[in-house]
Homo-oligomer: A and B are copies of this chain.
């Protein structure tokens, strides 16, 4: 319930204000639901602060994130028309790719992931956004499609105050090491266990 009370105050030479505004690197991982939805819910808070938000999708399929994308595109329009909130830029993967480990064209998928990561890297260098949402970013890391060392170094040395949220299962340890917040979502019960398929409005 507490939202602002630290458990202890460290001897790190930072003022409370400096510590409060430290750039966040949030990782939502684990096998349960809620990793991406929590990231998008947090992005609503950034939107309300007027932050520029960049969403980078590292998974591509037909309905994937369509609800979130429609809502954030609507919020971006609200910003442009009324000045409320902040701008949202949504980056999808290359068109037509289906993003699975067993995909038929892994080389094309790896290339698309590299291209999207290059967009993130350029945006970070240019300080293009205040909040970056790297959705399902752990998968290309885990599958060796991106250079983990280079990704970690880029994130760890990003300039200014740029917050980053990463989602996906099995976040690599070096990413956890440089994160400021790590939450593991654990499945206690899920309707797929009972043979239920996903439904619109809940799973996408």
Spell out A's residues near B (CB within 8 Å): 1-10, 12, 16, 19-22, 24, 26, 28, 30, 32-42, 44-49, 51, 59, 63-64, 66-68, 70-72, 74-75, 77-78, 84-85, 100-101, 130-131, 136, 139, 163, 169, 176, 179-204
Contacts and interface: CB of A to CB of B under 8 A. Distances in A.
A74 B79 CA distance: 10
A74 B67 contact: no
B34 A192 contact: no
A182 B192 contact: no
Interface centre among A2, A4, A34, A84 (most CB of B within 10 A): A34
Contacts of A16: 197
B67 A48 contact: yes
A203 B4 contact: yes
A51 B37 CA distance: 17
A204 B101 CA distance: 36
B30 A37 contact: no
B47 A38 contact: no
Nearest to A64: B3
Contacts of A63: 3
Nearest to A77: B78
Given A46-B67, A74-B85, A204-B45, A191 B24 contact: yes
